[in-house]
Amino acid sequence: IMEPFDILSLGFNCGTGPEQVEKHVKTLSEVWNRPISVHANAGLPQNRGGFTFYPMGPKEFTEQQKRFAEYDGVALLGGCCGTTPQHIAALSAALEGVVPKPPKGAQPKALASLFETRDLKQNPPPFLIGERSNATGSKAFRELLLAEDYEGTLSVAQQQVRYGAHGIDLSVGFAGRDETRDMEILASLYSQKVTLPLMLDSTQTAALEIGLKQVGGKPIINSVNLEDGIDKFNAVCQLAKRYGASLVCLTIDEVGMAKDKATKVKVAERIYQLATKEHGLDPEDLVFDLLTFTVGSGEEEYHTAAIETIEAIREFHEMHPEVGFVLGISNISFGLDKHAREYLNSVFLHHCVQAGLSMAIVNVKNTIPMHKMSEADIKACEDLLFNRREEGDPLFRFIDHFSNVEAKNSDEEDAAFAKMNTREKLHKLLLDGDKERMLQLLPQAKDEIPAEEIVNVILIDAMKEVGELFGSGKMQLPFVLQSAETMKAAVDWLNPYLPKKEKKTQTTLVLGTVKGDVHDVGKNLVDIILTNNGYKVINIGIKADIESFLKVVEEQHVDAIGMSGLLVKSTGVMLENLKYMKEKGIKLPVLLGGAALTGKFIDEYCRPAYDGPIFYCKDAFDGIVAMSRIEEGNFDTDLGGNKSDLDVAVVKKKSKKDIPPLEQIKMPRRDIAIPNPPFWGRRVMDAKVDELAFDWINHKMLFNQRWGYVNKKLTKEERQKIENEKLWPLFEEMKRDILREKLLEPVTLYGYYPCRADGDTLLVFDESEGWFSEDEINREPLEAVRERAKYKFEFPRQMRKPYRCLSDYFRSDRHDVVAFQLASAGSKFSEKEQELYAAGKYSAYHHLHGISVELAEAIAEIIHKQIRLELNIAENEGHSLRDVKMTRYHGCRYSFGYAACPDLAMNRELFAMLRPEEFGIELGETYQMHPEQTTSALVVHHPEALYFAI
């Protein structure tokens, strides 16, 4: 709310002492990007003998107050009640020479009511503006307005709130009415009674200003244009600046409404320049309406109306990705049958969002999700929108197609919901992940049903059904998380009404990611799902050693131990933990889960090493089954469907007797040219990769694996539809948010070093032994150079044919070249993820983690491409970093901890060469890198190099 205003500082004054205000200073520092002031009292005031007393003397006050200088943005420190000149003098002396840290706070642009904020750019888009509180567009609203039943108009707005709007458009202008008076009354009423932010919609400057004076929070003005010349334009912009409002900008100039793409973009650019340069409005507060006209009139002039609008949005979005875009969606279908309009409006909205539309003024109630339409419905709509005339006039075909189609009847759906009893409603809302309506229903529900029964019976049964739907492939992971968020919100709301004593029989799991592993998304999902199913989870976090698990076991009642880990190395840690617990005589049930685990490893290695039951959990819902059995005293560990024929996940120590002599092993070709690198040693990559990284993301991996939208039971067309309608828009929106919030802080290190193969060992030499021409290459015998090696990497060799080893790809009779690289997306992602998780925003947490990990992989691909270009081995691909190629290139990249080089300790040598500590990258005691969104690799240039497992 305060961000748009030109104020010197925002801060805290009076009320409390330094200690009480510190947490608020910390929060403000994280979100406010300008100076912060703190003027605390000399402690909390006390009543001593009828007089006000402040307990802090100058010394104690100064010690606490000066700590605020450590927070970003705190620039003004002083005192308020109870402080004396001596307090201020002591504080001034303590701060002498201290330079305030620059502000670094950031938050998404948002609209706000008195009750809540809504980000201007929703994820996924669009921001839905409920359009029914409109005197010209809604008969129901108009009749209430004409009868001056102002309170009655709230029912129209509340209906839009209920159907998922993010904001409410308020338009009261009607012939014969005093628009200024109506706006004053309704803006005040809506501001107090409607929870969503408001869009004040008027062509009258006076009505807009009186409305802005009534509205608390941050509204958006609809709208400004150049139709009446520059004076009125300036007046509306000045209102937006004065009242800190966002602004809708219509592409209308002195000539009239822009109809074709070129004119729309031209007028929009003119408005952009005037609004930002002349009036100093923040581009992120501008929302452009590039206008659309009906395709239902049959007039030739408007045959391409939809195309012109969609392409104009796309082009201007590329020019100014920071601005927003809005449309009155229903304009596209004006004049058509109202039932058919719902379909056309919904399909048009979908394509506009794909082009960059971030906001839509719609009747939220009558928006039809495209997955609920038939292919024939969509084709009829798209043929009309895109003016496809191969099969005749698309308007006639559209009218004919929808002549017998009845509109979806939301009233009937509401009636069906209304007929349900409260238990059925609660169950349905949890399945639907409808958190808002769940919270609206709970006050009534808790008066009818004991809160404990709502949680332990109704909601838990619904979550179990969610698990069954997930297990059968009928519900995907993101929708599971929506239900989990709804469950958490419901339990939090009901908590004051639950019995205060804990359930004596509550089954408890201590859960952690094992030592050396920083991956916590899978573990946290288990926590969410088990907690929402009534189990108590003690989550001890990441990098948890066995002592941390056992400390909880000793101090608290625990029924089972859950160990999670993503890395191959983590499976070995689990095994060692099991052996240690056996030595200690512990026989508690253990749940093991993680990507590198297999059923075969569990059966052949883990079960013989431990005396208690071990459950192999492939996902969080296996965890529910395991915990329910433990609760019942049933220790049958066969969960079904999790047997694996894969090789053991943990790398076996090779036995030399199983491997033939090197001379009997077929080696890679030795007659290949060895590249000459452009430099030796470490460099930071010059190219700016922030936006480029998004082009290199492996979307299949992101959508299917990281985000979990894979469902093998869907047809190719159904999968494509989900990608087009949900995943790509979500990806684009997250890209904009990440770049805007500057979450991505790429680290791009790489370097070239001379090397030689020495059996299974790769010898790496100091960069001073590098060469720049053929006659400089060191060709001394291996025996003569072996002791000069600065680093040695001993790789395992396959114990089966063809007995590969990484060192085989390098020459031993002369110096060769090896590259090392390190890529990171930075540490801000982990910080943001923890905020989202703590706030119960599990779906956003899940999506952000997935894209952050893939961004690190994308940056690694970019560095590898740069290496191939510099080594002149990119013969089968484009010679620009924008030419994406992630498979079938020359050479190979191997990361420590995986497959061919499973020893994470090799990161120690890589860190010595590339020195990533200078960029905030740390190496843990188990040689895993922090932050998690970091990857390192050894790069092989040999054309026969490929991935293999030991």
- pLDDT, residue 950, reads 74
- pLDDT, residue 657, reads 55
Q: Taking Cα atoms as reference points, which of 573, 602, 598 lies closest to residue 949?
A: 598
- pLDDT, residue 881, reads 84
Quick: pLDDT tens for 622-660.
Answer: 888 899 899 888 888 888 654 433 333 333 444 455 677
Given a cut of 90, whether residue 408 has pLDDT beyond it is no
Q: Taking Cα atoms as reference points, which of 216, 263, 267 lies closest to residue 243?
A: 216
Quick: pLDDT tens for 281-329.
Answer: 999 999 999 999 999 988 888 999 999 999 999 999 999 999 999 999 9
Q: Which token pair is 48? A: 């001593």
Within 8 A by CB and 6+ apart from 656, the residues are none
- pLDDT, residue 79, reads 96
- pLDDT, residue 405, reads 58
Which has more pLDDT, 25 or 472?
Answer: 25
Residue 793 φ then ψ, to 5°: -115, 110
**Residue 467: burial class (beta carbons within 10 Å; 0-12, 13-18, 19+):** buried
Residue 40 and residue 547: Cα distance in Å, rounded?
A: 43
Helices 460-471, 477-494: inter-axial angle, 10-degree rounding: 170
pTM of the model: 0.47
- Over the range 21-32, which residues count as b (16 or more CB within 10 Å of their CB) and which as e? bbeebeebbbeb
- Does the domain at residues 508-632 carry the CATH identifier 1.20.1630.10? no
- pLDDT, residue 725, reads 86
Output the CA angle 584-589-590, nearest 5 degrees: 85
* Domain 420-497: assigned CATH number: 1.10.1240.10
Question: Residue 266 CA to chain centroid, in angstroms?
Answer: 34
Q: What is the percent of the chain where pLDDT is above 90? A: 59
Beta strands in 681-731 (DSSP E): 681-684
Residue 798 φ then ψ, to 5°: -55, 145
> Residues for the chain: how many in total?
950
Q: Taking Cα atoms as reference points, which of 729, 752, 781 lies closest to residue 360?
A: 729
Beta strands in 586-700 (DSSP E): 590-593, 614-616, 681-684
- pLDDT, residue 640, reads 64
| Pairing status of strand 110-112 against strand 117-119 | antiparallel
- pLDDT, residue 371, reads 60
Helix (H, G, I), strand (E, B) or coil at 698: coil
Given a cut of 80, whether residue 413 has pLDDT beyond it is no
* Domain 681-940: assigned CATH number: 3.40.109.40
- Preceding amide of 931 cis, omega within 30: yes
Radius of gyration of the chain (CA): 32
Q: What is the percent of the chain where pLDDT is above 70? A: 93
The residue-averaged pLDDT of 167-180 equals 93
What type of residue sits at position 655? Answer: S
Q: Taking Cα atoms as reference points, which of 38, 52, 37, 40 lies closest to residue 16?
A: 40
Quick: pLDDT tens for 38-50.
Answer: 999 999 988 888 8
Q: Taking Cα atoms as reference points, which of 572, 638, 654 lies closest to residue 609?
A: 572
- pLDDT, residue 474, reads 54
CB 451 within 8 A of CB 497: yes
Beta strands in 594-729 (DSSP E): 614-616, 681-684
Residue 394 and residue 387: Cα distance in Å, rounded?
A: 7
Beta strands in 800-891 (DSSP E): 816-824
- Range with the lowest mean pLDDT among 108-112, 472-476, 876-880? 472-476
Within 8 A by CB and 6+ apart from 706, the residues are 849, 850, 851, 853, 854
Residue 431's pLDDT band (boundaries 50, 70, 90)? confident
Q: Domain coordinates of the chain in residue numbers?
A: 10-94, 129-208, 420-497, 508-632, 681-940
- pLDDT, residue 526, reads 85
- pLDDT, residue 475, reads 64
